[in-house]
Amino acid sequence: MTRLGESVQRVRALLAQDLSTDDTVRELLTETGARRSFELTDLSAKEQAELIAGRAVDVLPSVAALAERIEAARAEGRGLRVKLGIDPTAVDVHLGHAVPIIALSRFQRMGHDVTLIIGDITAKIGDPSGRSSERPPLTDEDIARNLAGYRDQVRPFFDFERVRFRHNSEWLSGVALPRLIGLLAQVPASALLQREDFRTRLEAGHGLSMSELIYPVAMAIDSAEIDAEVELGGVDQLLNMQMGRRVMEIYGLPPQLVVTMPLIEGTDGTGAKMSKSQGNYIALGATADDVFGKIMSVPDRLMEPYLRAWTEWTDAEIGMVAERLADSSLHPMDLKRVLAGEAVTALHGVDAAMAARAGFAAQFSRRSFGEVATLPEVDLAEHGAEGVATVLTRVLEFTPSASAARRLAKQNALRLVLESDGGEQRAAVLTEPDALRPLGEIVAEQLAGASGTTGVFLKAGRKLAVLRGAPVPAA
């Protein structure tokens, strides 16, 4: 049996136990955390390909083709040449950025040759990557500073001692105009304009610069220059990576395989991608308590995609906890605490994860909302006749629009919480139709037959408000 297989046996035994107990959770985090350094060379070519594919959006042209490439490289006594391109565009890195790095680490631990391409030339061109305008070009100083920060922050997920670094200025700075024109002459403009963000901008009447059109070709040259066999990247880079296949064929090389990784949804439950601009991200440099708390605030539906994105759990293990949730033998809150512990363990270690777990329990799980003195208030006598979405948008300013409030309800992230003596809480999930009903009417319905209620709270995602005053009676 492989090392991973033995670990799976141990973890499945733990996942069958009570996951609310600290001893079990510590043992679980220790076991799964250790997997981040497991050598995976004892997996067969098929098992390696399936492990990579299990966390990818697509493997092109196929998972079987990846297994065949791995087998062929093994026959030659070497690993595959795997490439990940990085444009060092930001100092702050978040967990969304870690997804391809985690996959790259698996390739590394499978015995393959990993190359990080530092896009010091392409970063100066500017790739919109879904933005409404061209990304500002960077200076050499910007690139050096951002790269240093990037390495420091993703280090918990990746062994930089076992990677080859290449800067694409090594070859792109020497590309002469005749060579570039000759290459571009073999690339149809229609292939460059397939990108959805390009089409969206053109339809909106915005222009595209020639530098943006050349960007995918420049990235593709990177693959040809290092003779990549696999390129890894976010699903938003699919067309760029497919261009790599095309340009490699122009160079007379076998086209690389493409592995696309998912874009991770942010913590606010709105469906938007995790990003700094949205404020819905978890920074890799955040404290253990901050990481733990932010994950505890996410909607329950994000637990499975987050487990797939950031942990070393297998599909069988994720399926096992999904079954336990379905038959109510596992409480969602207990699983979310495990998920939060996994993220903290990756960044800060098991001891920090357990300390954050204890701190969260002390601060929130056993603390009455009524003890929190700084909550915003809604006077039901004044606003009870207004719809829940209106109160969230215009009174509390918790959501930017009524449609955003309805989205929260659709995602089970909108709740009315009734608190009784001793801090006991009962939460009622508000549906999308509830978001349009008068707030006071809903409060009155929930209070009917609920004796001993000492506080009423409206919870929207991570945000909380206390409701004061007499509710509007239910019809």
Best CA proximity match to 246, nearest among 225, 226, 217: 217
Q: Are residues 117 and 241 in the same domain?
A: yes
pLDDT at 473 over 70: no
Quick one: average pLDDT of 143-164? 85
Please report which confidence band the pLDDT of residue 265 belongs to, taking 50, 70 and 90 as the band edges: very high
Bridge-based pairing state of the strands 230-234 and 414-420? unpaired
Least confidently predicted of 135-139, 291-295, 382-386, 436-440: 135-139
Radius of gyration over alpha carbons of the chain, in Å? 25
431 φ, ψ to 5°? Answer: -80, 175
- Which is more confident, 468 or 32? 32
Q: 197: domain CATH number? A: 3.40.50.620
Report yes or no on 50 lying in a domain.
Answer: no
Residue 422 pLDDT > 90, yes or no? no
Structure tokens at 61: 């042209």
Instruction: Work out the pLDDT band at 475, boundaries 50, 70, 90.
Output: very low
Q: What is the pLDDT of residue 132?
A: 45
The arithmetic mean of pLDDT across residues 198-204, rounded, is 81
The Cα–Cα gap between 323 and 330 comes to: 9
What's the pLDDT at 447? 86
Geometric angle at alpha carbon 172, from 171 and 175, rounded to 5°: 95
Residues with Cβ within 8 Å of 324's Cβ and at least 6 positions away in sequence, in order, are 15, 330
In a domain, 121, yes or no: yes
The residue among 348, 366, 384 that closes a domain is 366
Give yes or no: residues 358 and 390 share one domain. no
Domain end point (choices 261, 278, 312): 261
Which has the higher per-residue pLDDT, 366 or 351? 351
To the nearest 10°, report the CA torsion of 175, 178, 182, 183: 10
Predicted confidence at residue 126, as pLDDT, reads: 55
Lookup: tokens for 328 = 């109510």
Residue of 60 and 191 predicted with greater confidence: 60
* Candidate from 241-245, 266-270, 291-295, 311-315 with smallest mean pLDDT: 266-270
- Once rounded to an integer, what is the mean pLDDT over residues 248-277? 92
Where is average pLDDT lowest: 156-160, 189-193, 231-235, 381-385?
A: 189-193
Same domain, yes or no: 355 and 380: no
The pLDDT of residue 110 = 97
Residue 475 lies in a domain: no
The answer to whether position 12 is within a domain reads: yes
- Checking DSSP bridges between strand 230-234 and strand 81-86, what pairing results, if any? parallel
Same domain, 351 and 400: no
Phi, psi of 276 (to 5 degrees): -65, -40
Contact by Cβ (8 Å): 69, 80 = yes
User: Residue 139: pLDDT above 60?
Assistant: yes
Band the pLDDT of 143: cuts 50, 70, 90. confident
What was the pLDDT predicted at 127? 52
pLDDT level of residue 67 (50, 70, 90 thresholds): very high
Residue ending a domain, among 213, 241, 261, is: 261
Look at residue 364 and tell me whether its pLDDT is greater than 90. Answer: no
Confidence of residue 371 (pLDDT cuts 50, 70, 90): low
- Say which range, 43-57, 386-400, 456-470, has the weakest mean pLDDT: 456-470
pLDDT of residue 471: 60
The verdict on 207 and 248 lying in the same domain is: yes
pTM (two decimals) = 0.74
Q: Is residue 220 part of a domain?
A: yes
Mean pLDDT of 190-212: 79
> Do 96 and 187 share a domain, yes or no?
yes
**Pair (303, 350) in one structural domain:** yes
Residue 223 lies in a domain: yes
Q: How confident is the model at residue 470 (pLDDT cuts 50, 70, 90)?
A: low
Q: Tell me, what CATH number does 381's domain have?
A: 3.10.290.10
The mean pLDDT of 21-34, rounded to a whole number, is 96
Q: Does residue 473 belong to any structural domain of this protein?
A: no
Residues 389 and 453: their CA atoms lie apart, in Å, by 24
Measured from the Cβ of residue 458, the count of other Cβ atoms closer than 10 Å reads 25
| 251 or 216, greater pLDDT | 251
Q: What is the mean pLDDT of residues 35-55?
A: 95
* Same-domain pairing of 324 and 411: no
The predicted pLDDT at position 93 comes to 84
CATH number for the domain spanning 23: value is: 1.10.240.10
DSSP letters spanning 378-409: EEHHHHTTSBHHHIIIIIS--SSSHHHHHHHH
Cβ atoms 398, 463 nearer than 8 A: yes
Q: What is the per-residue pLDDT for 366?
A: 46
Give Cβ neighbours of residue 353 (< 8 Å, ≥ 6 apart): 29, 288, 292, 340, 341, 342, 344, 345
Residue 156 sits in the same domain as residue 288: no
396 lies in the same domain as 322: no
Specify the pairing of strand 463-468 against strand 377-379: parallel
Confidence of residue 204 (pLDDT cuts 50, 70, 90): confident
Determine how many CB atoms are found less than 10 A away from the CB of residue 319.
12
- Sign of the torsion formed by the C-alpha atoms of 206, 211, 214 and 215: negative
- The overall average pLDDT reported for the chain is 87
Task: Look at residue 356 and tell me whether its pLDDT is greater than 50.
Answer: yes
Q: Is residue 48 part of a domain?
A: no
Q: Are residues 320 and 428 in the same domain?
A: no
Based on the domain organization, do 155 and 221 belong to the same domain? Answer: yes
Strands 113-118 and 164-167: parallel
The per-residue pLDDT for 389 is 94
How many domains is the chain partitioned into structurally? 3
- Nearest to 407, CA basis, from 340, 461, 446, 363: 461
3-state secondary structure of 60: strand
Say which residues have a Cβ less than 8 Å from residue 88's Cβ, sequence separation at least 6: 118, 119, 120, 123, 138, 142, 143, 146, 147, 150
Q: Residue 420 and residue 425: Cα distance in Å, rounded? A: 6
Element (H, E) at 239: helix 238-250
Containing structural domain, residue 322: 1-43+265-366
